[in-house]
A and B are shown apart, each in its own frame.
Chain A
Amino acid sequence: MFGYVLANSSSLSKEEKEVYKAHYCGLCHVLRERYGQKAIMALSYDMVFLEMVLSDLTDADETKGSERCVTHPVKEHPYITTSFTEYAADMQMLLGYYSLLDKVKDEGKGKSEEKKMRTLLPQLEKKYPRIAESIKKGLDAINENEDRNLKEPETMSLLFGKILGEVFAYDDTSFFSSDLRGLGCGLGRFIYLLDAWCDRKKDEKEGAYNPLDKNITEENMRQMLLDAGAAASDAFERLPLNQHVFILRNILYSGIWSKFKEEKK
């Protein structure tokens, strides 16, 4: 369910692309450092978005570096990390672990990865009790509804939205926690719906669960996505962002639609 929160590169300037890329490489760098080479498999643009929002919001200090990595062994490339890169990496692992558990349960795949990641879990749950709890509860509710084949995309997407909302609200005492929660929730709803849309044919073939009705029209889908996107942007525009705001708006208003548009072609 990851990888929908992308930028639309065609309307970013060269400088903006470089900043975006450096934050992406920063998250990759921290994931590797904290969780080992294999952890970069969990890397996604969704958490790059979160890292950039939180860094901008708090004017976090940036650490710049440059390195070669396994995926780009020849050319050295710059990366940027902030105090929120670590947070984003931890969230990536938490979300990744619980969705891996689902996969093990549903398909019997990923057992060895699950075992490895399980050892990391207690420390993450201890560090982020509120967030870990709401991820667990939310995913339980989603699973329960899947088991009874609930065909209510709005209800289902809201459950996922609430999870991402808690992940975005990194500090519940912050003056901006409610706006961050709203942003995460809208974005989570969007991701869940779009994922269901993109998987609907595959799910049908495999007889797997999908919240969408078989006869859903593209226009119906677009309306649901618009509603979720608008909820996210409403909260987003209340946050005092000024450093990465062009990149973040590009993602929120345009980039997140890319997979929907691709599907249309």
Chain B
Amino acid sequence: MNDPYSVLGLKPDASDEEVKKAYKTLAKKYHPDVAGNSPEAARKMQEINAAYDQIINHKDSFSGQSQGYGYSYGYGGYNSTNEEEPIELRAAVAYINARRFVEALNALNSVPYAKRSGRWYYLAAYAEAHTGDTVSAMRDIETAIQKEPGNGTYHAFKDRLTGRRSAYEDYSRSFGGFSTGFFPCCFPFFPCCCII
């Protein structure tokens, strides 16, 4: 596949804001409402989505090989070279690549408790985090690490989860005090009286 930045007409050092803006401009151009139902426009739309996905969603995810387990999560997505990967896990990986995290969790849940490996817990944590359930994600990535303490991918994912949290806290703090209140007189019956 082409370099994702060039698909969006950007230089490789473009900021996230520029990527988002370029994505929206192009998405509008190739939207079926504008471009009609041509296969060319649909293909272009797929390309744009894939490029956005690579830059925004995979940037700080699981890049590189994970400690000789034969899995990589690079720009090409999740490539499993392990022939013995159970079918449920392979399905989960496919769903994760398609950003269908609820379905990925459904596939994973069909594996009985006794057969849940470190990798199972890792995939579950990854999917859970993306559905907004960071509590289960934290619990499962810790189980994954217990099962395979030497796996760098698992540690990296745990760091990412905790990192997100401190990033949120830091940015939150940058708004400063809450000095002048929050439209305090707004209760449901008197909507917009106090905003100005």
Contact = CB atoms under 8 A, between A and B. Distances in A.
B192 A241 contact: no
B171 A20 contact: no
A11 B172 contact: no
A10 B180 contact: yes
Given A10-B180, A158-B133, A182-B132, A230 B164 contact: yes
Interface in A23-62: 24-25, 28, 40-45, 59
Interface of B: 16-17, 19-21, 23-24, 28, 49, 52, 56-57, 99-102, 129-136, 164-165, 167-169, 171-172, 174-183, 186-193, 195-196
A9 B132 contact: no
Nearest to A77: B192
A131 B189 CA distance: 27
A39 B131 CA distance: 31
B182 A8 contact: yes
Size category of the binding interface on chain A: 35 or more
B24 A242 contact: yes
A7 B192 contact: no
B175 A231 contact: no
B180 A227 contact: no
Contacts of A154: 135
A234 B193 CA distance: 33
Nearest to B183: A9
Contacts of A257: 172, 178
A98 interface: no
Main secondary structure of the interface of A (DSSP, over half): helix
B108 to A, nearest CB: 16
B191 A43 contact: yes
Contact of B195 (A24, A183, A228): A24
B65 to A, nearest CB: 25
A209 B185 CA distance: 28
Contacts of B186: 45
Contacts of B175: 8, 11, 250, 253-254
Contacts of A77: 192
A21 B183 CA distance: 11
Nearest to A181: B131
A25 B100 CA distance: 35
Contacts of A123: none
B182 A255 contact: yes
Nearest to A11: B175
Contact of A42 (B21, B100, B188): B188
A6 B132 contact: no
Contacts of A9: 180-183, 195
B182 A258 contact: yes
B191 A240 contact: no
B127 to A, nearest CB: 10
A242 B20 contact: yes
A139 interface: no
Contacts of A242: 17, 20-21, 24
B191 A25 contact: yes
A178 interface: yes
Contacts of A237: 16
B20 A24 contact: no
A250 B57 CA distance: 23
A200 interface: no
A219 to B, nearest CB: 13
